Structure 1
Amino acid sequence: MDDRDVSGSDPHARVSQVAPADPLTPADRYAELFVAVQCGRIFDDSKTFVDCIPRQDPEAILAAYRARKDTPGFDLASFVDEHFIPEREPFSNYVSPPEQPLRVHIDGLWDVLTRRPQQHPRYSSLLPLPYAYVVPGGRFRELYYWDSHFTMLGLAESGRPHLMRAMAGNFAYLIDTYGHVPNGNRTYYLSRSQPPVFAMMVDLFARYGVIRRSLDYLPQLRKEYAYWMAGADTLRPGEAHRSCVHLGDGTLLNRYWDERDTPREEAYLEDVLTARQSTRPAREVYRDLRAGAASGWDFSSRWLDDAQQLASIRTTALLPVDLNSFLFKLETQIARLSAMGGDIETSRHFQRKADERAQAIGRVMWDERAGAFFDFDWQRGRLCTALTAATVTPLYVGLASREQARRIARTVRQRLLSAGGIATTEIDSDQQWDHPNGWAPLQWLAKRGFDQYDETALAQDISDRWLKTVGKLYERKNKLIEKYSLIPMQAGAVGGGGGEYPLQDGFGWTNGVTRRLLRDSPRHSANQSRAQKP
């Protein structure tokens, strides 16, 4: 099926042709074989095995392993090579020509990063999708939820409305099929979602004319909302269930959550080793690691009691300001579309929910003295003190006051603005969502948020610094990457560091945000950045 086959008015078009997904994750499917491979470090990257394509029926592979594993001379690596094919990047003829401008380079990358339904192999962990989609790149060979919103900014500027329409159909399909958008289209991601940005995607689809009616996506928006709010109606003050937390004063807010409390399959050994460094029950650590992955900020001192110890992670104890801002947007979107469809009662109901959430965010998460929004530690009943770039999210969704926006602008300029853009946090650690790393989605949230509150000078400053960072590294390396170092003397000279895996090239959301900012700043020097000659 070609990505151009998607109907512009029906998000459910042609989904009946999607092959059924294997309902089991690799850990479920391969049992002790899975544990042996991951703990034996057969592959350098734990994600490699969970993405492998089995050469035959998985049940037959597991039976063969059980029959042979205790025989003399059994070699696990040879067995894995005999029964699995590591997933490879699809072949591409794309080579970035010397002297190619940055904008043209990005425009040419979309075909390289596009995957199609025919590339969904049988028995793999990949969840089949009905239409074409864009992946981030590198080791990330599947669709990711919140990445895609920022990727779409670039697709729109590159004149790829058919790809945006295809991805709209895919997200509607995922919600219809699984009740939520998984972290990515892999079976091992089904137990969690990511920042709920589908409501913002719908605005983007409508703005660029890739769908005929935003109202067609109201059922999916309501279904996603039900996923995030499951169990909220029966909570008593002080209780939590899945993503919902009911504070002692009656305030209802949300946290990140994962249905499983086992090591992440794509980082199995890493999680086992992390949990061993904690005095808490291992399952609590696993749940918090998984919830950290659901946040998209995997990982950050933001979630840690000790900024230098990942084992101190407490993601589920925190009410994140960005998650609750995105849910405010979801509530207002449902209210708006319900009114558009003539359902005034539902519209008023969801507008009340949005108003209550906005008031709660202002009451619980705003620090008047610091002039910023912070996450709230609901277990300890106090604000978190670490400033992060998530403080700009209330501006992005329009729930902050003008005075709060003015205060946040001053705080960001004083504390988070770096040579290369807006920093993720103020804390240096070995986690990738910390200083000095900068990430494209955070630049866009900040730039767009400040623009909406007429803090245009700061918005432009963030954009200019980010474009300079990306442009300088492109001129040196002929590529865009996942994250960048923002500190003086390094901004644009080296990629970001830290994290569980090597720096990735590609890269979907960097391409998307940068392409949009190049359009918004046509005189910026990055528009003249060109790949160096060999």
Structure 2
Amino acid sequence: MTDIAPAFELAGMADSLTPAERYEELFVAVQMQRVFVDSKTFVDCVPCREPQAILDDYRAQRDAADFDLGEFVHANFSPYELPPKAFVANPDDSLAAHIDRLWPILTRQPREHPPFSSLLPLPHPYVVPGGRFTELYYWDSYFAMLGLDESGHCELLRSMADNFAYLIDTYGHVPNGNRSYYLGRSQPPVFALMTELFEQTGVHPATDYLPQLRKEYAFWMDGGAELRPGEAHRRCVRLADGCLLNRYWDERDTPREEAYREDVETARHSSRPAHEVYRHLRAAAESGWDFSSRWLDDPCRLASIRTTCILPVDLNALLYHLERQIARLCAVEGLRRDAGQFHDYAERRRTAMQRHMWNDVGGAYFDYDWAIQRQRDNLTAATLMPLFVQLADSRQAARVAEVVRTRLLAPGGLSTTEVYGSGEQWDCPNGWAPLQWIGIRGLQHYGHQTLALEIERRWLEIVSYLFERENKLVEKYVLRPCTEAASGGEYQRQDGFGWTNGVTRKLMQEDPGHQANRCRAGRCRPD
């Protein structure tokens, strides 16, 4: 790997205290009294002076009759601001050129880490999604990397590769994002996918990252070996038949700091203890699908969330891939015993998934509710992840392809779920770039090229439609050609947008005849 910044430099900048830990009752007051409309704004603020002095002054002043919390906060904190880089869509730019021009705007430098903020320093440049997301995100980054490769940013790929290795070496896992308040959780484990991309593009041999792959695996499997049937610990669950599978989790059972008020309000609508609801909300945030009816007992009530009771298809498929990748790289390094051990882990997981997650009647993979010992019945796009990592057999792949064609294919691409009206952003009618890529590649692995190309065609059509209409790419899309903006969830649709740029850029290169390669910003203006 390339040299990492001197340890003493990063050590002087690193600070794992979260805003809630640092500002205590001031933090609670700011979030609950809604000083900022978006709860994420305050946790990303930079203090104007030493934090303890701010907290001391708050405690000394808060009981005064004329004390104004909003004025105090704005006098002592600066909302995180993006570097002043103006970006205006050029009507002469193709969609590919527009994406290529966006990468520098979305790139952050190691020195852009203000002291006492929640931002965790990284040794090398990295790409952020855009909009309110001003930090690196774990699984987002893999999909952005697909486009960085097509745009010729090999050096940036190399930098991001070493950033992820640094995060694993430093924290034992890749956090949800490089913010202190994200340290309690990770995201879908895609570092193994990244190492394959690094090798394919000549950035680094995948074997360079074998130690980090093994460390990440240990994070996900912590405590699993000691579990007895029916027991769970952190991210591991031992089922009654002895199978070991994984779930999403978070080390904390408090409201998410970036959504503190929202989580408190959600817990108030549940009859369960608040800390249980908080854990489920945090675990869903680790899944990346925050939020979806997939995690709910009642698809229209977020307070019914039960994420840690659910063994997800896609998480376990990615861990199967991680086990296979470690086995392969151990064999390359001559570690035959370790290679055999990880091969066995992968085969055991595959057997467990086939037993508990494959539904032969429904012709698809479904999440498994280990708390009540039965499959969930809500079909989601996660059913394609076993095809993406080539875990399914050809008969299962054909069944999944037919189910996807008849039940999840929408005018704009691959639907996330079949549930409308939940109010959650990872449900219909929204579509997301990473799920399009997973579905397309998964189907292609098993020769279902026609359906894969149809999803690709429809997705590029919806992205290029909005690009011509609004001169931008966005985080999520309504999967039909209309003027309606994607909605749902805890925040407004975000512009940018890293993983949409990456997946779209990659798909355009693979389908040069698609009209998306000929569209231009500003061709169509809203009425």
Is TM (by shorter chain) over 0.5? yes
Matched with 1:210 is: 203
Q: Does residue 1:188 correspond to 2:177, yes or no?
A: no
How big is the shift at 1:118? 1.1
Q: Does residue 1:255 correspond to 2:247, yes or no?
A: yes
Q: Does residue 1:74 correspond to 2:74, yes or no?
A: no
In structure 1, runs of 5+ residues without a counterpart are 1-8
How big is the shift at 1:12? 4.7
Q: Which moved more, 1:381-390 or 1:96-105?
A: 96-105
Matched with 1:484 is: 477
Matched with 1:350 is: 342
How big is the shift at 1:342? 0.7
* Cα deviations by residue, 1:21-73 (Å, 9 ceiling, x for unpaired): 11210001100000000000000000000000001111111111111111220
How big is the shift at 1:13? 6.3
State how far apart, in whole Å, the 2-side matches of 1:500 and 1:93 are: 27
Matched with 2:387 is: 395
For the 8 Å contact 2:16–2:120, the answer to whether it is kept is no
State how far apart, in whole Å, the 2-side matches of 1:472 and 1:16 are: 49
For the 8 Å contact 1:113–1:136, the answer to whether it is kept is yes
For the 8 Å contact 2:124–2:159, the answer to whether it is kept is yes
State how far apart, in whole Å, the 2-side matches of 1:247 and 1:394 are: 20
How big is the shift at 1:94? 2.5
* Cα deviations by residue, 1:410-463 (Å, 9 ceiling, x for unpaired): 000000000000000000120000011000000000000101111111110000
State how far apart, in whole Å, the 1-side matches of 2:186 and 2:201 are: 26
How big is the shift at 1:233? 1.4
Matched with 1:156 is: 149
Matched with 1:52 is: 45
State how far apart, in whole Å, the 1-side matches of 2:88 and 2:250 are: 39
For the 8 Å contact 1:440–1:483, the answer to whether it is kept is yes
How big is the shift at 1:15? 5.2
For the 8 Å contact 1:11–1:172, the answer to whether it is kept is no
State how far apart, in whole Å, the 2-side matches of 1:14 and 1:207 are: 29
Q: Which moved more, 1:348-357 or 1:10-19?
A: 10-19
Matched with 2:442 is: 449
SS at match of 2:41: helix
One-letter amino acid matched to 1:498: G
Q: Does residue 1:433 correspond to 2:430, yes or no?
A: no
> Equivalent residues in 2 for 1:467-478 (5 A)?
467-478=460-471
Count residues in correspondence.
522
Give 1:89's match in structure 2, choosing from 69, 82, 85. Answer: 82
SS at match of 1:398: coil
Q: Does residue 1:527 correspond to 2:517, yes or no?
A: yes
Alignment RMSD: 1.1
State how far apart, in whole Å, the 2-side matches of 1:494 and 1:402 are: 39
* Cα deviations by residue, 1:123-155 (Å, 9 ceiling, x for unpaired): 000000000000000000000000000000000
How big is the shift at 1:14? 4.8
One-letter amino acid matched to 1:415: R
* Cα deviations by residue, 1:251-276 (Å, 9 ceiling, x for unpaired): 00000000000000000000000000
One-letter amino acid matched to 2:35: I
> Equivalent residues in 2 for 1:37-48 (5 A)?
37-48=30-41
TM-score (norm 1): 0.96
Q: Does residue 1:500 correspond to 2:490, yes or no?
A: yes
Q: Does residue 1:322 correspond to 2:314, yes or no?
A: yes
How big is the shift at 1:17? 3.4
Give 1:513's match in structure 2, choosing from 503, 511, 519. Answer: 503
State how far apart, in whole Å, the 2-side matches of 1:23 and 1:14 are: 18
For the 8 Å contact 1:278–1:312, the answer to whether it is kept is yes
Matched with 1:166 is: 159
Matched with 2:301 is: 309
How big is the shift at 1:99? 3.0
User: Structure 1 residues 324, 446: closer, same or farther in 2, change over 3 A?
Assistant: same
For the 8 Å contact 1:278–1:311, the answer to whether it is kept is yes
How big is the shift at 1:89? 1.6
Q: Does residue 1:335 correspond to 2:366, yes or no?
A: no
Matched with 1:3 is: none
For the 8 Å contact 1:11–1:168, the answer to whether it is kept is no
Q: Which moved more, 1:64-73 or 1:430-439?
A: 64-73
How big is the shift at 1:11? 6.7
SS at match of 2:245: strand
State how far apart, in whole Å, the 2-side matches of 1:10 and 1:343 are: 24
State how far apart, in whole Å, the 1-side matches of 2:380 and 2:417 are: 4
State how far apart, in whole Å, the 1-side matches of 2:196 and 2:32 are: 44
SS at match of 1:117: coil
For the 8 Å contact 1:10–1:216, the answer to whether it is kept is no
SS at match of 2:488: coil
State how far apart, in whole Å, the 2-side matches of 1:505 and 1:10 are: 32
For the 8 Å contact 2:94–2:517, the answer to whether it is kept is yes
State how far apart, in whole Å, the 2-side matches of 1:17 and 1:530 are: 44
Q: Does residue 1:61 correspond to 2:30, yes or no?
A: no
For the 8 Å contact 2:5–2:123, the answer to whether it is kept is no
State how far apart, in whole Å, the 1-side matches of 2:129 and 2:101 are: 14
SS at match of 1:293: helix
One-letter amino acid matched to 1:345: R
TM-score (norm 2): 0.98
For the 8 Å contact 1:117–1:129, the answer to whether it is kept is yes
Give 1:374's match in structure 2, choosing from 348, 351, 366. Answer: 366
Matched with 1:245 is: 237
How big is the shift at 1:10? 4.1
User: Structure 1 residues 441, 291: closer, same or farther in 2, change over 3 A?
Assistant: same
Give 2:219's match in structure 1, choosing from 213, 223, 227. Answer: 227
* Cα deviations by residue, 1:365-385 (Å, 9 ceiling, x for unpaired): 000011000000000100000
Q: Percent identity?
A: 60
